Amino acid sequence: MVVIGSGFGGLFATRALRRAPVEVTLVAKTTHHLFQPLLYQVATGILAAGEIAPATRHILRHQRNARVLLGEVTNIDLEARTVTSAPANGTTVTPYDSLIVAAGAVPSYFGNDRFADHAPGMKTIDDALEMRGRIFEAFEQAELEPDPSLVQRWLTFVVVGAGPTGVEMAGQIAELAHRTLKGNFRNIDPSRSRIVLLDAAPSVLGSFGERLSGKATRELADIGVDVQLGMNVVDIDATGIDVLDGTGQRRRIESVCKMWAAGVSASPLGAQLAAASGAKLDRVGRVEVDPDCTLPGHPDVFVVGDLMALDDLPGVAQVAIQSAEHAADQIDRRLRGEEIGHRFHYKDKGSMATVSRFHAVASVGRLRLAGFPAWVMWLVVHLLYLVGFKNRLTTVLHWTHSFVGRGRAERVTTSQQVLARSALESTGRLSAAPPE
């Protein structure tokens, strides 16, 4: 069988099949499994990329029935039952009896893709390292800026999107500016940085409910984040961002370093599957699957995780893990000649987001927690789901260094990271043709 993707869905599906009598081929366009919830810590210099992105091949090294292929899937032929992937040179065609598609999501700029040049999203290690380059570079450029009227433009950071990713990002840039970089510069005072968190919605972390949203908003204000709600972004360029405020007035925020955390849409493989099978897509391009997570009319093809639309389930890690394990279980049952077609039941284990060091919000069942207890809970849960003992150990060390102390061990940036987007464009990688 073939699994597409090495994120939560792809990895957990493959692992769940370790004792099944199948040969599993996992095809993914990166060589690593990625723990996306901690990308913002790579971007802000707390963690190293390898801590949240261990090599898939290494994770699966003891699983004898699994092999890993690098390549971007460009075509799924539902009739011939083959998956075509494109590694750097040539194409590979892999046949399957059963297929699990866990290709996830990509940032969505709601039709304004040109915004991506100036406000990268946060979905990949490339994105996080580029963002790290942009953040630290902004402080360096501010230090060098001869024109005092332009210094503040370098020291204004704008994050678009007040969901968990945007809040975590804004909170960490604030801590970086106000704590970590203290005393590091001679011409500028990093604590005079302005960190703006923008959203069109009326509240921060709206999905956590009014009480936790209020607590998060107050904490953000305490650590110096300027939260601006009811703001519609209408334009983004190299030196600023234009918004329409609640009264319909157009305003500009001068800022070089901006980040987009406002939305995602499903992987383009979803549209391709829908076109080939007649399945419907929801408004963000996710494939509407049957209750057992299969593609309608194709009981041998499962779509799981962020690419799956079922029962209005959110695009979160637990949905990906549980739907992937469900798909693996159905395949295993079929091989053992047991009844299949069981409905997928999601068990909501809650959600959490950090706002600053020692402060998080958590919503688990009926429990609503904010502040230090929620932060401890966040810490433990994230450690549990990080893959690999060594990664957990070094992550704890880095967290101690950054949260108890005020250091950031991973401040290395390279010219390639700062120029990442334009460098990739020049090689044609970013304008690669969409899947056939």
Ligand X SMILES: Cc1cc2nc3c(=O)[nH]c(=O)nc-3n(C[C@H](O)[C@H](O)[C@H](O)COP(=O)(O)OP(=O)(O)OC[C@H]3O[C@@H](n4cnc5c(N)ncnc54)[C@H](O)[C@@H]3O)c2cc1C
Shortest gap between Cβ of 350 and ligand X (angstroms)? 9
Q: How many other CB atoms are found less than 10 A from the CB of residue 276? A: 16
Q: Using a CB cutoff of 8 Å and minimum separation of 24, what contacts does 385-388 make?
A: 385/35, 385/317, 386/35, 386/38, 386/51, 386/52, 387/11, 387/33, 387/35, 387/54, 387/59, 388/54, 388/59
Shortest gap between Cβ of 344 and ligand X (angstroms)? 14
Angle at 407 between CA 406 and CA 413, to 5 degrees: 140
Shortest gap between Cβ of 338 and ligand X (angstroms)? 26
Contact call for residue 269 and ligand X (CB under 6 A): yes
The CA radius of gyration of the chain, in Å to the nearest whole number, is 22
Catalytic-residue membership of 175 = no
107: which DSSP letter? Answer: E
Name the phi and psi angles at 68, rounded to 5.
-120, 130
Tokens at residue 267, please? Answer: 């992987």
3-state secondary structure string across 259-277? EECCCEEECCHHHHHHHHH
Contact call for residue 28 and ligand X (CB under 6 A): yes
Contact call for residue 164 and ligand X (CB under 6 A): yes
Shortest gap between Cβ of 40 and ligand X (angstroms)? 6
**Residue 142 vs 259, nearer CB to ligand X:** 259
**Which stretch, 6-14, 222-230, 237-245, 276-284, contacts ligand X (CB under 6 A)?**
6-14
CA distances from 80 to 102, 147, 271 (A): 20, 64, 19
Contacts with ligand X in 289-348 (CB under 6 A)? 305-307, 315-318, 320
Contact call for residue 36 and ligand X (CB under 6 A): yes
Shortest gap between Cβ of 182 and ligand X (angstroms)? 27
Q: Which member of 123, 132, 286, 298 binds ligand X (CB under 6 A)?
A: 123
Handedness of CA 159, 262, 415, 391 (dihedral sign): positive
Q: What number of chain residues touch ligand X (CB under 6 A)? A: 34
Q: Which member of 2, 3, 9, 132 binds ligand X (CB under 6 A)?
A: 9
Tell me the catalytic residues. Answer: 168
Chain positions contacting ligand X, by CB under 6 A: 4-10, 27-30, 36-37, 39, 72-73, 102-105, 122-123, 164-165, 267, 269, 305-307, 315-318, 320
